[in-house]
């Protein structure tokens, strides 16, 4: 992983629940980390939905390893779009992660 290839900035967000004084529970997305990333692969897959088939944009983000754990329940914000993380693969031994994400 070359430092010069990490030319994009992404924000990894985690879903958290907030309880209001009235007892109402709401779910919000809180930033977990903002890191530099490389976008390695971009394609559009056809996926079946309730209304037929549609295209879903899939990106693979390559980031340096970070001590905060990333899970498939998190999401990525990049260039004004939101991507749900579908797969996480570790690169080497704590060198980095490949995050496969689908646009929501």
Share of the chain above pLDDT 90, in %: 70
Give me the domain span that covers residue 89: 3-103
What CATH number does residue 31 fall under?
A: 2.40.10.270
CA-CA distance, 99 to 40, in Å (whole number)?
Answer: 10
Task: Give 37: exposed, middle or buried? Use CB within 10 Å, 0-12, 13-18, 19+.
Answer: buried
Give how many domains the chain has, as a whole number.
Answer: 1
Q: pTM of the entire structure?
A: 0.81
Q: What is the pLDDT, as a whole number, of residue 2?
A: 76
Q: What's the average model confidence in pLDDT over 16-45?
A: 91
The model's pLDDT over 32-59, given as tens digits with 9 standing for 90+, comes to 999 999 998 777 665 555 565 566 789 9
The model's pLDDT over 64-85, given as tens digits with 9 standing for 90+, comes to 998 889 999 999 999 999 999 9
Q: Given a cut of 60, is residue 86 above it in pLDDT?
A: yes
CA-CA distance, 40 to 82, in Å (whole number)?
Answer: 17
């Amino acid at each position: 992983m070359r430092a010069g290839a990490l030319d994009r900035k992404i924000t990894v967000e985690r879903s958290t629940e907030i309880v209001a004084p009235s007892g109402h529970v709401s779910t919000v997305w809180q930033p977990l980390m903002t890191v530099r990333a490389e976008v390695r692969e971009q394609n559009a897959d056809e996926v079946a939905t309730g209304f037929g088939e549609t295209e879903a944009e899939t990106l693979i983000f390559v980031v340096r390893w970070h001590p905060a754990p990333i899970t498939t329940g998190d999401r990525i914000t990049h260039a004004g779009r939101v991507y749900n993380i579908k797969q996480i693969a570790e690169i080497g031994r704590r060198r980095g992660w490949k995050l496969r994400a689908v646009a929501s």
